[in-house]
Structure 1
Amino acid sequence: MPVAAGLTAGVAVGVARTALLVAAARAIETHRPDALATDPLAEHFVRAAPASADWPVHPDQVPLGAADPLWGRLGRYFGLRTRALDDHLLDSVRTGVRQVVILGAGLDTRAFRLGWPPGCTVHEIDTGEVLAFKQEVLDRAGAAPVAVRRPLAVDLRDDWEQALLDSGFSPTAPTAWLAEGLLLYLPAGAERRLVATVDRLSAAGSTLAYEIKEVAESPGVRANPVYAAARERLGIDLLSLFDTRPRPDSAGELARRGWTVEVRRPYDFTVLHGRGPLPEPDDALAVNRWVFASTGSRPVR
């Protein structure tokens, strides 16, 4: 059943609407026989918002299957990204990290679905509108977090450092930071501030994972069926949401600040797991990079 219109407004338009796209992809991935990641709560978000209530949440609802550019190719990409970043966070807590910050958390449910050890706290930062919708759906589903969960309503384009500190975050404890599908949409100045803030708040042993587009996409790539399908079938114009102005070299900046940084292609993880999207002509995924960084003596993934 859809939630009240006032609560769904925050996820109906703009970048926030992409959270519903990712939730639908995770729901479909959950039901694949060879699922890379599972998220039983994802379909609750999709069905609760009128904008996405008729989107597929199961592979059987995707007639073209893997050949569908949206729910086949892009959806599998989101499943692969989810798995890689899940593994990053779990690798971090296995070495003693007990503090996690998810930047631009959207409809992320890692606080509920991952096997966190005792003593873990997950801070989720996003706008108040997105978090209000998310909480309503979680309450309806009777979801209980595995870790201590601390949602924090703040816009990452603004000054969010003090709000995080006020929520109980400790800058003296190592932190696993995650910015999944966030920096693609931020202005360059906000990205620079985010990297500087993460660096300033990170004790030795902290980690960071995030996604970027390494270079601007060519006209041929911008005409890829993935983008056309999202625009025509879902009303999500991804190309208009991406900030295409010159991007900061955040990986280089982290390295200059003393972090150990590894930049990976998504297809590296397709090979690692034996499933996931493969390269194609005029590839909308080809310039995507996943960055894994650590400070202190911790190795990256």
Structure 2
Amino acid sequence: MAGTKHDGGAIELGVGRTALMVAAARAIETHRPDSLARDGFAEHFVRAARTCEDWPLRMEQVPDGDADPLWGRLGRYFGLRTRVLDDFVLRSARAGGRQVVLLGAGLDSRAFRLDWPSGCVLFEIDRGPVLEFKQDVLDKLGATTKTRRVPIAGDLRGDWTATLIAAGFDPAVPSVWLAEGLMLYLSSAAERGLIDTVDSLSAEGSSLAFEVKLGVERPEVRANAVYTSAKQRIGIDLLTLFDREPRPDSTRDLERKGWSTEVKTPFDFTRQFGRGPRPEPDDALASNRWVFASKPRP
């Protein structure tokens, strides 16, 4: 890519900036010899953002390697999460969920890098400036999708049902929903509203994956180097961005609505793949949970 830089905007501020952090982590993961997930677009998103010029894109650019709390430990967490959710959406699509909805899509490039079954369509919902930034980078790369992709500018804290349906989504058809790194930043009311909307739009045979944090983290956990390094080195104060209200139990809410659920820790998948973050004292990742839900057919 020629290297046109972008100044400010939603992608380089607040929650938008976390999408760039994840993209940098995916770039590093892509170039590891033992990579769990490959995303050849990720580094181009980071390079296009003016305020990220000094961020590493390969592990050899991280002086402390995997011991680095930000690009080592947290970066490997994002790489593991990417692989697990890649597997989830592809498995669900191949099982019949040919409508895939990426909630808070950010700099997700799954429409361009995964091998989707024939007839699959991906709806990407996020704020307009984020989608515009992503599209500009992809256009400069001449990127082509591997399935039909429908970007939708919308605010997931409000009512986005009509917008999604107007874009071609059919509530009568089984769908696959993915909220990767989204719920952490929503208010409790917005999270409940999102779960209610997903349920109302999901035909039997649909599936959903999302990430949550359990409870309120102790002061010792809030002082973890994962949080302090993100704030000091790349200007992302995750603890401020995380909503501090008591969290709803969305897993239990889905079960009451008739969904079946499975809750996993990241460390479950570290053991499965033999790569990824492992528990540590006062762990910033210990309360993270990945929830996988399905709406059974009769």
TM superposition score category, shorter chain reference: over 0.9
Name 1:26's counterpart in structure 2. 26
Looking at structure 2, the residues matched to 207 and 98 of structure 1 have their Cα atoms a distance apart, in angstroms, of 11
Name 1:143's counterpart in structure 2. 143
Tell me if the contact between 1:24 and 1:46 (Cα under 8 Å) persists in the aligned partners. yes
What's the offset of the Cα at 1:215? 1.3
What's the offset of the Cα at 1:2? 3.5
1:205 is the counterpart of 2:205: yes
Name 1:3's counterpart in structure 2. 5
Q: Look up the SS of the partner of 2:52 in the other structure.
A: coil
What's the offset of the Cα at 1:216? 1.0
Name 2:61's counterpart in structure 1. 61
Looking at structure 2, the residues matched to 3 and 234 of structure 1 have their Cα atoms a distance apart, in angstroms, of 17
One-letter amino acid of the structure 2 residue matched with residue 282 of structure 1? D
Runs of 4+ in 1 over 3 A off after TM superposition: none
What's the offset of the Cα at 1:10? 1.7
TM-score by length of 2: 0.98
Q: Look up the SS of the partner of 1:51 in the other structure.
A: helix
TM-score by length of 1: 0.97
Q: How many percent identity over aligned positions?
A: 62
Name 2:273's counterpart in structure 1. 273
Looking at structure 2, the residues matched to 129 and 223 of structure 1 have their Cα atoms a distance apart, in angstroms, of 32
One-letter amino acid of the structure 2 residue matched with residue 209 of structure 1? A
Looking at structure 1, the residues matched to 180 and 265 of structure 2 have their Cα atoms a distance apart, in angstroms, of 15
Tell me if the contact between 1:10 and 1:133 (Cα under 8 Å) persists in the aligned partners. no
Tell me if the contact between 2:214 and 2:289 (Cα under 8 Å) persists in the aligned partners. yes
Looking at structure 2, the residues matched to 137 and 181 of structure 1 have their Cα atoms a distance apart, in angstroms, of 22
Q: Look up the SS of the partner of 1:156 in the other structure.
A: coil
Gaps of 5+ in 1: none
Q: Look up the SS of the partner of 2:255 in the other structure.
A: helix
Name 1:162's counterpart in structure 2. 162
1:82 is the counterpart of 2:85: no
Q: For residues 29-63 of structure 1, what are the alpha-carbon distances to aligned partners after superposition, in whole Å with 9 as ceiling and x for unaligned?
A: 00000101000000000000011122011111111
Q: Look up the SS of the partner of 1:184 in the other structure.
A: helix
Looking at structure 2, the residues matched to 297 and 280 of structure 1 have their Cα atoms a distance apart, in angstroms, of 41
1:70 is the counterpart of 2:70: yes
Q: For residues 268-297 of structure 1, what are the alpha-carbon distances to aligned partners after superposition, in whole Å with 9 as ceiling and x for unaligned?
A: 000110110000000000000000000014
1:255 is the counterpart of 2:226: no
For this pair of structures, how many residues does the alignment match?
Answer: 296
Looking at structure 1, the residues matched to 160 and 96 of structure 2 have their Cα atoms a distance apart, in angstroms, of 25
Tell me if the contact between 1:47 and 1:54 (Cα under 8 Å) persists in the aligned partners. no
After superposition, the CA RMSD in angstroms is 1.0
